[in-house]
Structure 1
Amino acid sequence: MSEQVLIIGAGSGIGLGLVQHYLALGHQVQAISRSSCPAALAQPALNWLQLATTAAGDVAESMVNQAVAEAITLQPSIIFICQGWLHDNQHGPEKTLRQLTADQMQKSFAINVWQPAMYLKALFGYLTKQPDVKILVLSAKVGSITDNELGGWYSYRAGKAAVNMLVKTTGIELGRYNKTATLVSLHPGTTDTALSAPFQANVPAGQLQSAAATADRLAEVAAKLTPQLSGKLLNWDGTILPF
């Protein structure tokens, strides 16, 4: 049976993998991204919504609202929000608090927290009414306060801990309106993308996954979600991780 799927952040490595996964299964896919649709993916089953950006590369909340309003006309039952930032040419993960800067923390929170928050806010009215809707917000295990035994990566850890709280709090409110909805944050595992590229040498053999393999695993988690899991942080295999 064909489903309507919405992938937000579809131009990212994992987002693109999810688009390809659901298209291959014959589903209808709505995609939202700052980048244009890859030519090889263009087909009737895919509606790719490209967001206009400011000179600084940011996306205005009004553009998010407009894109979401168009995407939900087809009533997606599965929604992935795939935003994440760890480093760029000017900023690497902090190994010590002494390396922390306001610019890096602001960028981390802008992408890792505020962008998912904008989308959840834009989607909220729809989510309160759509039966059995499932929303998965990509996060990271390093955002777990309980699991943190190594320290470091201050901005990224703080941003992902914040998005986990965003999902937890939104899940509580959403549950008051729609008992059939499920909203979770999700650790995708270490995936072969630009985000993880500088750190792949430290990944144990067999643990680095292709974007396609990660998409397969996350889609399997989505298929098995139940409202009892709403607000939780899940691992790539569907097990519950500690906050």
Structure 2
Amino acid sequence: MPSERALVIGASGGIGAALAEALEARGARVTRLSRRHDGFDVTDATSIERVLGALEGPYELILVAIGILAPQGLGPEKSLGAIDAQAMAHVFAVNAIGPALILRHLPRLIAPGGRAGVLSARVGSIEDNEIGGWHSYRASKAALNQIVHGAAIELKRHDRAALLVALHPGTVETGFTAAYAGKHRMVAAPEAAANLLAVIEGLEPAQSGGFYDWRGEAVPW
């Protein structure tokens, strides 16, 4: 029986690399994409079209593990007064627009009955936001959640057995979260990867379009 084919986008990051390694350890044939190794720049529509357009599916599992808290050298805003238009636009380009352009290729790349997950974050939940701040990051992840939800509806029109969801991995020990160590319960990247794979493999097609955390529990929009 042929081994599973998987595509991991953002495979040079902490969670992305751990996801790819976990899949390879169980015998999957993994295609890894990243800016560092493949010149895959999610802020450049031409780059996305060039790299994804050259891929040939189908992939039984597609994972999009990209995102930034803030542009390099900056941190998430603590107040409305700290919002900077250029910085906010860059966060949206990476966290929302880039994944949207990637998902344009999903119907062509995903196998019948295949599964796809896009890493989001609980702070993108509007209902769960009780402390404010982190405006660009929160808003970009909320936008991402809407994009995933809409894409899942469209995907289901072509394949009712396919699954596309937004996933919250928890706070993972990576360079992405190094500045916030000690403020939240942290998990190692391999553990986070195992949790996410268990969640996406345990969901039913009827749950496509949802937003789930690392325990498989639905996160409020």
User: Structures share a fold, TM > 0.5?
Assistant: yes
Query: 1:201: Cα distance to partner?
Result: 2.0
Which structure's residues are more often strand, by fraction?
A: 2
Q: Give deviations 1:116-167, integer Å, cap 9, x for gaps.
A: 111101223344xx31111100000000001111111000000000000001
Residue in structure 2 matching 1:146, options 114, 118, 127 = 127
Q: Give deviations 1:21-68, integer Å, cap 9, x for gaps.
A: 1111111001111112xxxxxxxxxxxxx1265xxxx65323322322
Query: 1:89: Cα distance to partner?
Result: 4.3
Residue in structure 1 matching 2:77, options 80, 91, 94 = 94
Query: 1:228: Cα distance to partner?
Result: 0.9
Q: 1:80 — aligned with what?
A: 63
DSSP-derived class of the 2:52 partner: helix
Structure 2 residue 203 is the aligned partner of structure 1 residue 220: no
In the alignment, residue 112 of structure 1 is paired with which amino acid?
N
Q: Give deviations 1:72-95, integer Å, cap 9, x for gaps.
A: x24210000011110344321111
Residue in structure 1 matching 2:188, options 210, 235, 240 = 210
Q: 2:14 — aligned with what?
A: 13
TM-score (norm 2): 0.94
Pairwise CA RMSD: 1.6
Q: Using a 3 Å threshold, how does the CA distance of structure 1 residues 218 and 52 change in structure 2: closer, same or farther? A: closer
Residue in structure 2 matching 1:62, options 46, 53, 57 = 46
Matches of 1:92 and 1:226 in 2, distance apart?
37
Q: 2:213 — aligned with what?
A: 235
In the alignment, residue 199 of structure 1 is paired with which amino acid?
Y
Q: 1:51 — aligned with what?
A: 39
Q: Using a 3 Å threshold, how does the CA distance of structure 1 residues 30 and 236 change in structure 2: closer, same or farther? A: same
Q: Give deviations 1:164-214, integer Å, cap 9, x for gaps.
A: 0001111111111110111100001000111111111211xxx21111111
DSSP-derived class of the 1:174 partner: helix
Matches of 2:43 and 2:12 in 1, distance apart?
14
